[in-house]
Amino acid sequence: MIIAIDGPAASGKGTLGKRLAEHYGFAHLDTGLLYRAVAGVLIDGDVPLTDQDAATAVAQNLDVSHLDNDSRLRGAAMGEAASVVSAYQPVRDALLAFQRQFSVQEPGAVLDGRDIGTVVCPDANVKLFITAAPEERARRRHLELLRRGEQAEYETILADIRRRDERDMSRSTAPLKAAADAVTLDTTDLDPDAAFQAALAIVEAKHS
């Protein structure tokens, strides 16, 4: 059983993915962390993010065992950097096999990202496209960053989110978009519990 979750920045995909995975006893992969980790290695090595060959080599040799424990990866700067390296086709190719392998484990897997329903798992049993108004997404991300102790201005975050969505939607390789057979869930007016219940209802309806 594969649940694919896609959507724009800070739409709540990660939280939903985690809760759905816990509910069903499935494994969960936040695929954004893979791109964030590639960017992190380049930044640590003072390699420009525009160096596509270096980014590809990093993606091909990425150590995926510590991703969940690296809180630095979840910072705002890393999200921005991730969206630069994620536009390179060879980087995406290098990360594809790992994501596909992850998706086929029993009893099931939940993957969240931008291209899970369209490219990584086109045959997923359930595809969700999670969205919310940019202002609401910026409000949530602002709170999240403040809680993490990061300096964050709401207006800057909103601008970052708009720029990153634009980049993710307009790139030629695996652009952010809902798969034709995805169910779209707008969480603008839903708190995390309500969003989870709505997503659960969609999964149950698809799967019964």
Residue nearer to ligand CDP on the CB measure, 38 or 203 = 38
Residue closest to 33 by CA, chosen among 1, 79, 77: 79
User: Can residue 83 be called a binding residue for ligand CDP (CB under 6 A)?
Assistant: yes
E strand spans, 45-142: 109-113, 126-131
Q: What is the C-alpha to C-alpha distance for residues 204 and 195, in angstroms, rounded to an integer? A: 14
Residue closest to 38 by CA, chosen among 4, 6, 73: 73
Pick the binder of ligand CDP from 82, 109, 157, 185 (CB under 6 A).
82
> Least Å distance between CB 149 and ligand CDP?
18
User: Can residue 56 be called a binding residue for ligand CDP (CB under 6 A)?
Assistant: no
The 130-169 site mask, x for binding ligand CDP (CB under 6 A), equals ----------------------------------x---x-
Taking contact as CB under 6 A, which single stretch among the options 6-14, 15-23, 52-60, 183-191 is the one that binds ligand CDP? Answer: 6-14
Tell me the number of residues near ligand CDP by CB under 6 A. Answer: 16
| Neighbouring C-alpha atoms within 13 Å toward the C-beta of 154 | 7
Structure tokens at 39: 């960017």
Q: Do residues 159 and 135 touch, judged by C-beta distance below 8 A?
A: no
> Least Å distance between CB 22 and ligand CDP?
18
**Neighbour order of strands in the sheet with 126-131:** 27-30, 109-113, 2-6, 126-131, 183-186
User: Can residue 32 be called a binding residue for ligand CDP (CB under 6 A)?
Assistant: yes
Query: What is the amino acid identity at position 93?
Result: D
E strand spans, the chain: 2-6, 27-30, 109-113, 126-131, 183-186
> Least Å distance between CB 53 and ligand CDP?
19
> Least Å distance between CB 63 and ligand CDP?
18
Taking contact as CB under 6 A, which single stretch among the options 41-49, 55-63, 77-85, 125-133 is the one that binds ligand CDP? Answer: 77-85
Residue nearer to ligand CDP on the CB measure, 57 or 118 = 118
Residues that bind ligand CDP (CB under 6 A): 9-10, 14, 31-32, 35-36, 79, 82-83, 86, 113-115, 164, 168
